[in-house]
Amino acid sequence: MNKIALFMFDEMTDYEITFITHLLHADAGKDVIAVSYDGQSVKGRSGLRYEIDKKVSELVAEELDGIIICGGWFGELRIELQQLLMELNLQKKLIAGICGAGTLLLAKAGMLKNVQYTTPISEWDKKYQELFGTTDHFPRANFIAKRVVRDRNVITAHGNAFIDFAIEICDFFSLFSSEQEKSEFSKNIKGAI
């Protein structure tokens, strides 16, 4: 295994996932695989273009350690992504979503029904209805007003909490030997020493 799928799309907010992909590859020895629905390259909000390794439909859950869904303004959930998420969840593998698109796609796929989560979409107002339709897919009773929330194998975060998001994913993969090491790493990265 040692593979993490990174679901990407045009106009994704790429700064939210560059730190975690670096840590997973450099420190955890994970192979981060860029995936999309059609397998075509995508262009991030930064203007950088990213090559895609595989289509979502080509992925096999048993060959992955988890998936990270990028943030941005995207809400198209296709059956192949929903099925992959369901299989990964059954296997208790990492399911992580950041910002609007990451958390919305998890909500649409039913991944947030039985876990606590966070999202920057704190209420389904007119703006979100115009972007994504009138149906609010978030189970609001499970919402926690925090920057990042980890409940078992599901990690959600606000886009501006990309460092906290990365730290929780690293902790999921047991990259810290103790809570103290995790705390010291966090302070060092955030400049709070």
For residue 185, the model assigns a pLDDT of 94
> What stretch of H or E contains 3?
strand 3-7
* Structural domains present in the chain: 3-190 (3.40.50.880)
More confident residue, 42 or 131: 42
The Cα–Cα gap between 53 and 39 comes to 7
8-26 mean pLDDT: 97
The Cα–Cα gap between 46 and 51 comes to 15
Asked whether the beta carbons of 159 and 16 are under 8 A apart, the reply is yes
Average pLDDT, the chain: 96
For residue 133, the model assigns a pLDDT of 85
For residue 193, the model assigns a pLDDT of 58
Cβ neighbours of 54 (radius 10 Å):
13
What global pTM score does this model have? 0.96
The Cα–Cα gap between 52 and 59 comes to 13
